[in-house]
Amino acid sequence: MRKFLLVLVISCCFHVSFCQTPEDALRSAWFIPNGTARSMSIGGAVGALGGDISSVYTNPAGIGMYKTSEAVLTPGMLFNSNQSDYRGTSLNGIKRSGFQLGTSGVVIGGKPQTSNNSSAFSIAVTQVASYNNHIQYEGLNNYSSYSEQYLEELVRDNADLNAAANNYPFGSSLAFFTYLIDSLADPEGNLIGYRSLVPVPTGTKQQYDETDKGGLYELSFAYGANFSDKLYIGGDLNIPISFYTQDITYTETDATEVINNNFSYSRFTQHHTIDGAGFNAKIGVIYRPVPSVRLGFAFHSPSFLYLSDDLSAEMTTNTEDYAGSKTSKSSDFPNAAPHVRYTQLTPYRLIGSFVYILNEVQDVKKQKGFVSADIEFANHRGSRYWATYEGEDIPQSVDDYYRAIDDVIKSYYQGAVNFRLGGELKFSPIAIRLGGAYYSSPYADNSLKASRAMLGGGLGYRDRGMFVDLTFVETFNTDVSFPYRLADKANTFAELKNQRANVLLTFGIKF
């Protein structure tokens, strides 16, 4: 059932111009969050630590520990390197780099009032996730072809010639126009079905190229309160802002030397943009049962993202002598609707945290360091989609599509447990830091190997109301990519390994 629903959702992308997929839901929820150089050097384990502006994105109660004010700026650089393995063929060395914004902003701390109580307010912005990447893979396939997804769709829908030519502007109609898929007729000329011109048994060379750009940013307004340096509570309201551009080129080329088998190559290109914004909230608490121990808990609400989706596609097929050599067709059909709006709900998160302070004293300059740990649960199967039709009734086909994709998400993904661990040693005014994080697979299918692991280390300097932190972070990602999906065959996929190097530099001034 899971496989059938997934294929139904993917085929609907070609049919009614929707292009929201389970992969879209994962992109906005499965990532290692960015932060300040200090927080990243300890693996992002700041849930019960406090005293760092990046606390607003993990546990906003940490803002309550501020008794002074500070301004922070965190520029950084990201360097991507990819490796792929597809049907026994490996590709290495695909690289992409770009600027990255770590957590930056202002914290306004309040001096202790009666009973040593105080409060603080912050405004912060960060690049929660970077989408900048470049994926390539290729291999020889004599088992299946991407043309079969279009063939399955036309046969399943019992499409007549008019439907095949017009109703699938982002997929099957392009294949039909370029003769990648052709009709079959009986001796009287009546339509009896469709066929693919790709000679699957003799094999094709399949090549996939995907370039992604953009990122997920979040603007945060947080408040934290301190009660007698024993209990800290906090909350924030956040505005996530997403920019995403995807360009895909997929090519199948005849692997034989035969020049009269009616197929030379077919190339499909797609340009896809998703932009929008939304809101979410986080609440948290930190408690100190003894001076050297801090315990934290935080709840991250789902994000409600209001998104705008634009899609265009083009296909070129060379059928040699079958249909006059090369034929091209773009998705600019009269009935095509390349622009849609919808709402996405991201997973909620629960975070538990522990910190042990070395030589806990009131004067933080005399503390010797700390060990900090977070454990996080992310409910990936809780992502949802809704159509956005202002002042109109939602068409039944649209409602059915989003119900189907929600069912796929519930069966395709699972809740994931993530871990973060780090520590710091102080040799005033210098600090040395080390940490790491592990994000487990969001896929319910154990055959889809995926994980994210991060190692970080850095140095910090703090003196006379000024601080500078430098961090180097290495992230190791494993994931899978499906070039196409079929209902009647096992789906072939590429295994991806991505290595990301981050260099972050945080400047801060206390006032």
Domains and CATH numbers, the chain: 2-383+409-510 (2.40.160.60)
Average pLDDT, the chain: 89
Q: Would you state the pLDDT for residue 4?
A: 45
In whole angstroms, give the CA distance from residue 431 to residue 364: 12
Indicate the pLDDT class of residue 147, thresholds 50, 70 and 90: very high
Contact 269, 313 (CB under 8 A): yes
CB atoms within 10 A of CB 161: 12
Mean pLDDT along residues 77-89: 92
C-alpha distances in Å from residue 260, one per residue of 140, 178, 205: 20, 17, 18
C-alpha distances in Å from residue 162, one per residue of 14, 63, 64, 150, 167: 16, 62, 65, 15, 8
Q: Would you state the pLDDT for residue 339?
A: 77
| pLDDT exceeds 90 at position 7 | no
In whole angstroms, give the CA distance from residue 496 to residue 247: 18
In whole angstroms, give the CA distance from residue 53 to residue 35: 8
The residue that leads in pLDDT, 233 or 22, is: 233
In whole angstroms, give the CA distance from residue 7 to residue 77: 38
In whole angstroms, give the CA distance from residue 375 to residue 335: 49
Contact 139, 89 (CB under 8 A): yes
Mean pLDDT along residues 278-303: 96
Q: Which residues contact 61 (CB under 8 A, 6 or more apart)?
A: 50, 55, 224, 232, 233, 234, 284, 285, 286, 296, 298
The residue that leads in pLDDT, 112 or 163, is: 163
Mean pLDDT along residues 32-50: 93
| pLDDT exceeds 60 at position 8 | no
DSSP assignment of 27-39: HTTSS-----HHH
Q: Would you state the pLDDT for residue 158?
A: 92
In whole angstroms, give the CA distance from residue 437 to residue 419: 5
pLDDT digits (tens, 9 = 90+) for 341-394: 889 999 999 999 999 998 766 555 666 899 999 999 999 999 998 877 655 566
Burial category of 311 from C-beta neighbours within 10 Å (exposed 0-12, middle 13-18, buried 19 and up): buried
In whole angstroms, give the CA distance from residue 41 to residue 369: 14
| pLDDT exceeds 60 at position 218 | yes
Q: Would you state the pLDDT for residue 394?
A: 63
Q: Would you state the pLDDT for residue 9?
A: 52
| pLDDT exceeds 90 at position 206 | yes
Cis ω before 240 (30° cut-off from 0): no
Q: Would you state the pLDDT for residue 306?
A: 93
Q: Which residues contact 390 (CB under 8 A, 6 or more apart)?
A: none
| pLDDT exceeds 80 at position 97 | no
Q: Would you state the pLDDT for residue 282?
A: 98
Q: Would you state the pLDDT for residue 207?
A: 97
Rounded-to-5 percentages of helix, strand, coil across the chain: 15, 55, 30
The residue that leads in pLDDT, 4 or 227, is: 227
Q: Which two tokens stand for residue 369?
A: 């360091």
**Beta partners for 431?**
426, 460
Which H helix or E strand runs over 387? Answer: strand 384-387
Indicate the pLDDT class of residue 1, thresholds 50, 70 and 90: very low
Q: Look up the pTM and report it.
A: 0.86
Ranges of beta strands (E only) in 102-230 are 104-109, 118-130, 133-141, 181-185, 191-196, 204-227
Indicate the pLDDT class of residue 238, thresholds 50, 70 and 90: very high
User: Tokens 């009660």 belong to which residue?
Assistant: 227
Mean pLDDT along residues 23-40: 88
Mean pLDDT along residues 202-213: 94
Dihedral Cα 221, 223, 224, 227, nearest 10 deg: 180
